[in-house]
Amino acid sequence: MSTHKVWFITGANAGFGRSMLECAIRKGDTVVAAVRRPETMTKLQTEYTEDRLLVVKVDVSKSDQVNAAFDTVKKVFGRIDVVYNNAGYAIVGEVEAVPLEAASAIFETNYWGLVYVTRAAVAFFREVNQPQGGRLLQVSSMYAESADGCIGYYSGTKHAANALTEALSKELDPAWNIKPTLIEAGYYKTDSVKLKNFEIYEHPSYTNPAVEGVAIRQAFANFDPNNTPFIRGDPDKLSEVVYRLTDMEDPPLWLPLGKDAYVRARAKIASYLADIDKYESLSDDLEL
C-alpha cells in the first residue's frame, strides 16, 4: 500500500469518524470526508487544501449518494486506499418499545448504509485502484455478537453487518488484495456519549427494575455524561491502533478493541459453548 494513503471516511464529522479523520491527516494522508451535513466541516476545511481534505455530502442510506461520492473520488484522486465504514447511531429501548419506524430507520443507516458503502468500496478497490486492493474497515461494536436488553435493534444492525462482512471475506478473490476488518469497539468517550446523543423509548409493560432491559434503559436515561467511570475508552487511541492496522500485511477479520470488548467476547463464547455442550445430544438422532 502507498505510504501516502487516500481515506474514505463515512460519518467523518463526529465520533470515531472525526477522530480517524484527524489521525489520518496528522499522518500526512488525504481524507475524503463523507458527511450528511457538510457545514459541520467548514472550519476544518479552512485549515487544509482539497488535496488533503475533500468533503462530500453523503447520506449513506441513499445508495445513489454513496455511488456519486465514489465517482467524485475517482475523478479527483483516482484511488482509495482505505474505506472507514463508520456512519451509524444507536437507539435504546425494548423490542416492543421502539416504534417500527425508528427500528427500520436505524437499519437503513447502520446496515443498508454499510452495505451500500461496502459494495461501492469493493468495486472501487477491484476496478479503479492500480494495483488492485484496499482496506475495508467496518466499524462494528462489542454489541454485535453479545446483545444486552434494550439495545436489540442497534445490536441487530451490527450483527447483520458482521455476518455480511464475514460472508464477503469468503467471496473476495485473493488476487484482488481487498482486506476487510470488523472493528468491534467497546465503550469509548465519543460525541454520542458526551452529548447523550441517542433516543430512548419506553413501553408501559416494562417496569420491573430487576429485569436486565429495564435496568439498562434506566441507566442510559439517568447517566451523567460527565461522570461515566465505566466508559474509559479514548477514541483517539483507538484511531491510532486502527491506523497501524492499515499497514499490516495480514490484518484480522475480527478485531475487538477495548478491554471491555474482550471480556464480552470471551463471555459470549463461553456461554455459547456451554449451551452447545449441554444440548448437543438433542441432535443425536436427526439424520435420515
The three cell numbers of residue 17 are: 469518524
How far is residue 249's CA from residue 254's CA, in Å, rounded to a whole number? 15
pTM of the model: 0.95
Q: Residue 205 falls within a domain, yes or no? A: no
Radius of gyration of the chain (CA): 20
Q: Domain total for the chain?
A: 1
Q: Residue 84 falls within a domain, yes or no? A: yes
Q: Residue 61 falls within a domain, yes or no? A: yes
Question: What digits encode the pLDDT tens for the residues 215-263?
Answer: 999 998 988 877 777 788 999 999 999 999 999 999 999 999 999 999 9
Domain containing residue 150:
6-89+103-195+231-282
Other C-beta atoms closer than 10 Å to the C-beta of 24 total 25
Q: Residue 97 falls within a domain, yes or no? A: no
* CATH number of the domain that residue 56 is part of: 3.40.50.720
At 54 the pLDDT is 98
Q: Residue 175 falls within a domain, yes or no? A: yes
Cell 419506553 -> residue: 202
Asked if the model's pLDDT at residue 2 lies above 70, the reply is no
End-to-end CA distance of the chain: 52
Q: Residue 210 falls within a domain, yes or no? A: no
Question: What digits encode the pLDDT tens for the residues 119-139?
Answer: 999 999 999 999 999 999 999
285, burial (CB in 10 Å: exposed 0-12, middle 13-18, buried 19+): exposed
How many alpha carbons lie under 13 Å from residue 236 in its C-beta half-sphere? 4
Q: Residue 174 falls within a domain, yes or no? A: yes
Other C-beta atoms closer than 10 Å to the C-beta of 214 total 18
The three cell numbers of residue 286 are: 436427526
The rounded mean pLDDT for the chain is 96
Q: Residue 143 falls within a domain, yes or no? A: yes
Side chain identity at 151, as an amino acid letter?
I
At 1 the pLDDT is 61
Question: What digits encode the pLDDT tens for the residues 171-214?
Answer: 999 999 999 999 999 999 987 776 677 899 999 999 999 999 99
Write down the H helix ranges in 27-113. 42-45, 63-76, 100-107
